[in-house]
Amino acid sequence: MPGIFAESQSYYLLGFERTPGDDPSRRRSVRVRVNRDNVTVRSRSGYFATSPAPPTDAGRTPADDSLAALLPRTDVPLTLALVPRFRNDGTPVVAVQFGIAEGTRDEYRLFGARVAVLDDRGRAVGSATLEVEANPSSAGSDVVLAQTTLPMEPGRYEVRIGVGDVVNGRAGSVHGYVDVETDRRLAIGGITLAVGPDASIGAARGDPFTLRRTFARSEVVTALTQVRRHDGDRPAPPVTRIARIVDTRDQVVHEERQLIETFNQAGVADMAIPLPVSDLPSGRYLLTIDVGFGGQPESQRRDLMFDVDE
């Protein structure tokens, strides 16, 4: 665990210029090599030279401009979480949760947000537009949270969010990736964290939620997720959920098991898992949620990292 944490604190962005006149429908291979031993390189194996068409000038907003940039813009600080979920009928969706950190405590602000979804070929396959109000009388924080839900077929996607201040024209953007895998007999949704004694209410929607990952020991923190099983004509075996918390010394500091027995007609079950932050020393931890059919190897797993502070 310490090695994983240290490795994730820095990264390198490699770029190259495409050859002019390339056929955009032809897949180009990418290979990354390093001149060191005992290292592992993980990269995309290729790409298609297509790019999403930029919005027309008519009705163009600062949020549109930020989406078109190669790298995320930081004029408006943003945070992002992409959480795969399931509707009540079992169809997959992705909750796009983002936070705007732009001094919202002292004044009213109005932001326009654009969400663009790209497939693994860089083609636009989904979008959303919304307005986010930051009212100082109710915000009580310098971070305003917003959420939208988008239907997505199984696959790997890039999600870009552009946010623009309607008044002063400042803009920011953030990029993220999400995998939607629902063609399995057993699937687990992403993890949402919520703070407060009523966090388990609305677990299917993930409301309320927080994008914070550092918590005081006095706070009540709950992890929300979902499980979907597809039994077909086969008998439904019992589903077991294991929640485990590991510290930076790779020691299991908390573990609990539960038999999931309540599913709706589409095979979807909501789960609310309290995190024992009051019992944990200050430090960084990894939450792992595993679900499986008893002792069978067909299981799924989600991970989330968080910190505990005094």
For the chain, give the number of residues: 310
Per-residue pLDDT at 303 exceeds 80:
yes
In a domain, 262, yes or no: yes
- Joined together, the tokens standing for residue 129 give 């537009």
Please identify, among 124, 150, 180, the residue that sits at the C-terminal boundary of a domain.
180
Per-residue pLDDT at 175 exceeds 60:
yes
In a domain, 221, yes or no: yes
Same domain, 154 and 258: no
In a domain, 124, yes or no: yes
C-alpha distances in angstroms, 28 versus 43, 44, 235, 253, 270?
14, 11, 45, 46, 42
Band of pLDDT at residue 139, cut at 50, 70 and 90: very low
Mean per-residue pLDDT, 192-211: 74
| Residue 179 neighbours by CB under 8 Å, 6+ apart | 84, 155, 156, 157
In a domain, 7, yes or no: no
| Residue 172 neighbours by CB under 8 Å, 6+ apart | 66, 72, 73, 74, 75, 76, 77, 78, 100, 162, 163, 164
The span from the CA of 131 to the CA of 94, in Å, is 19
What is the SS3 assignment for 76?
coil
pLDDT at residue 94, rounded to an integer? 94
pLDDT at residue 59, rounded to an integer? 62
In a domain, 100, yes or no: yes
End-to-end CA distance of the chain: 22
Please identify, among 158, 180, 202, the residue that sits at the C-terminal boundary of a domain.
180
Mean per-residue pLDDT, 225-233: 81
Say which residue, 25 or 160, is predicted with more confidence: 160
The span from the CA of 79 to the CA of 100, in Å, is 7
* Number of domains forming the structure of the chain: 2
Same domain, 224 and 204: yes
Ranges 1-15, 28-42, 259-273, most confident: 259-273
Same domain, 164 and 207: no
Same domain, 126 and 207: no
Please identify, among 180, 205, 237, the residue that sits at the C-terminal boundary of a domain.
180
In a domain, 1, yes or no: no
Residues forming beta bridges with residue 27, ordered by sequence position: 48
Q: Domain residues for 231?
A: 186-309
pLDDT at residue 183, rounded to an integer? 66
Per-residue pLDDT at 221 exceeds 70:
yes
Least confident of 72-76, 182-186, 224-228, 272-276: 182-186
What digits encode the pLDDT tens for the residues 269-280?
999 999 999 999
- Joined together, the tokens standing for residue 135 give 């009212």
Same domain, 259 and 147: no
pLDDT at residue 138, rounded to an integer? 47
The span from the CA of 20 to the CA of 180, in Å, is 34
In a domain, 148, yes or no: yes
The span from the CA of 269 to the CA of 275, in Å, is 19
What digits encode the pLDDT tens for the residues 126-136?
999 998 887 65
Type of residue found at 83: V
Same domain, 157 and 202: no
**Residue whose token pair is 């890039």:** 158
Same domain, 230 and 202: yes
Evaluate if pTM is beyond 0.75.
yes
Same domain, 134 and 197: no
Per-residue pLDDT at 168 exceeds 50:
yes
In this structure, what CATH number is given to the domain that contains residue 298?
Answer: 2.60.40.10
Query: Peptide bond preceding 208: is omega within 30 degrees of 0, i.e. cis?
Result: yes
239-247 and 283-292 strand pairing? antiparallel
Mean per-residue pLDDT, 254-271: 90
What is the SS3 assignment for 114?
strand
| Residue 138 neighbours by CB under 8 Å, 6+ apart | none
What digits encode the pLDDT tens for the residues 236-247?
678 899 999 999
SS3 content of the chain, % helix, strand, coil (to 5): 5, 45, 45
144's enclosing H/E stretch is: strand 143-151
C-alpha distances in angstroms, 190 versus 13, 38, 86?
27, 32, 10
Cβ count near 302 (within 10 Å): 17
pLDDT at residue 86, rounded to an integer? 92
Q: What is the mean pLDDT of the chain?
A: 82
Type of residue found at 212: R
Same domain, 221 and 118: no
